[in-house]
């Protein structure tokens, strides 16, 4: 079977712009989550992110006229429940850890996707990709610094978000074998809203006027970032787009310094660069394999949050 053709220069440029816009949207979402976390619990922020996201998506989904029929409802429920767990851990980390650290650790997701693909899907990963995975985990250790006075248990919550996000990535890969992307998005949000509403009820606080702004912006930025991210990967080469997705780190690092008086930690920067190098290699190898088998872009591409 011949390899799939590479994107044209025009398509590659469009994909790069979409990925850059997605990165900025995700960066803005992290900032709005941090502002909302000053007065509201994580459970409630997650609910509003999903509710606003569903409202934003409904007109687009109805316009696409995609079939919403599926025979995989139990799988969607499981995927959504694990996704909510990942979202809660990620939002908590963004609200309570330095922004640069929370986002840097979120980029470890592709490392866990590689491991999950071996254990769950039986994919074969050879020596060079395993070496890249090990290198990535060295970067994680540099950021987390276990056994030192700088270690915080909150960093483990950020890593839990990455692990759960990796499991979700594998589930999406399985669901996409049967259902269209719009169908997956529709049922994900349909389950996300009630699943996130139940825990939010136990900690509910009516948002102050300014908090409403942050909640609405969180939903808009998160959903917009997702839409742009998926469209970028649909038309572009994941190995070329992965470096662009890492532009979120300097955005949130500068925002953390200017808006929240956070220091840019050299260990976090060093660890993030190591993770970036590992992810770039993994993305390149998986893109090559995807082209050979004429499949879509790998699901393990770096995406900071749900």
Predicted pLDDT at 207:
95
> Residue 209's pLDDT is what?
92
Please enumerate in sequence order all residues whose Cβ is within 8 A of that of 258, keeping only pairs 6 or more positions apart, or say none. Answer: none
Q: What pLDDT, on a 0 to 100 scale, did the predictor assign at position 215?
A: 97
Question: What is the pLDDT at residue 176?
Answer: 84
What pLDDT is recorded for position 298?
46
Return the DSSP state at 69.
-
Look at residue 28 in the predicted model and tell me its pLDDT: 96
SS3 (DSSP) at 227 = helix
In whole angstroms, how far apart are CA 72 and each of 92, 174, 178, 188?
30, 10, 9, 12
Whole-number pLDDT of residue 147: 83
- Spatial distance between the Cα atoms of 129 and 111, rounded to a whole number of angstroms: 10
Task: Tell me the residue length of the chain.
Answer: 306
Write the burial class of residue 81 (CB in 10 Å: 0-12 exposed, 13-18 middle, 19+ buried): middle
> What is residue 91's predicted lDDT score, i.e. its pLDDT?
96
Phi, psi of 110 (to 5 degrees): -60, -30
CA angle, corner 70, sides to 190 and 179, nearest 5? 95
pLDDT at 297: 44
Residue 278 class from Cβ within 10 Å (0-12 exposed, 13-18 middle, 19+ buried)? buried
- For 301, counting Cβ atoms within 10 Å of its Cβ (0-12 exposed, 13-18 middle, 19+ buried), the class is buried
H helices within 145-235, ranges in order? 154-175, 181-201, 209-235
Encoding tokens for residue 11?
């398509």
| Interatomic CA distance for residues 165 and 157, integer angstroms | 12
Tell me which residue has tokens 């998160």.
Answer: 222
Task: Quote the pLDDT of residue 161.
Answer: 96
| Block mean pLDDT (10 aa), the chain, length 306 | 60 88 95 96 96 90 76 92 96 95 94 90 86 95 89 94 93 86 87 96 95 97 90 78 87 94 92 93 75 52 55
Q: How many CA atoms lie within 13 A of 203 on its CB side?
A: 14
Distance CA 37, CA 215 (A): 10
Which residue pairs, CB below 8 angstroms and at least 24 apart, start in 211-217?
211/36, 211/39, 211/40, 214/32, 214/33, 214/35, 214/36, 215/32, 215/36, 215/40, 215/45, 215/48, 215/49, 215/52, 216/48, 216/52, 217/28, 217/29, 217/32
């Amino acid at each position: 079977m011949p390899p799939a053709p590479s994107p044209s220069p025009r398509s590659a440029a469009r994909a790069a712009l979409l990925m850059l816009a997605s990165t900025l949207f995700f960066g803005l979402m992290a900032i709005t989550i941090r502002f909302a976390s000053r007065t509201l619990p994580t459970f409630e922020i997650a609910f509003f992110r999903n509710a606003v996201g569903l409202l934003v998506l409904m007109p687009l989904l109805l316009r696409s006229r995609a079939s919403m029929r599926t025979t995989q409802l139990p799988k969607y429920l499981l995927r959504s429940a694990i996704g909510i767990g990942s979202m809660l851990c990620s939002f908590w980390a963004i609200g309570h850890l330095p922004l640069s650290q929370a986002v840097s650790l979120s980029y470890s997701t592709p490392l866990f996707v590689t491991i999950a693909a071996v254990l769950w899907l039986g994919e074969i990963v050879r020596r060079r990709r395993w070496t890249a995975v090990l290198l990535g985990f060295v970067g994680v250790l540099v950021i987390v610094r276990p056994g030192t006075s700088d270690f915080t248990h909150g960093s483990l919550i950020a890593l839990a978000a990455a692990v759960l996000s990796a499991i979700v990535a594998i589930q999406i890969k399985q669901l996409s074998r049967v259902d269209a992307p719009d169908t997956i998005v529709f049922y994900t949000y349909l389950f996300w809203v009630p699943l996130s509403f139940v825990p939010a009820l136990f900690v509910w606080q009516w948002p102050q006027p300014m908090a409403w702004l942050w909640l609405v912006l969180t939903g808009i930025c998160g959903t917009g970032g997702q839409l742009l991210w998926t469209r970028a990967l649909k038309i572009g080469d994941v190995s070329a787009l992965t470096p662009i997705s890492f532009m979120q780190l300097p955005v949130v690092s500068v925002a953390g310094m200017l808006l929240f008086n956070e220091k840019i930690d050299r260990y976090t920067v060093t660890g993030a660069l190591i993770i970036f190098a590992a992810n770039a290699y993994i993305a390149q190898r998986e893109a090559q394999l995807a082209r050979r088998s004429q499949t879509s872009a790998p699901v393990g591409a770096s995406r900071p949050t749900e």
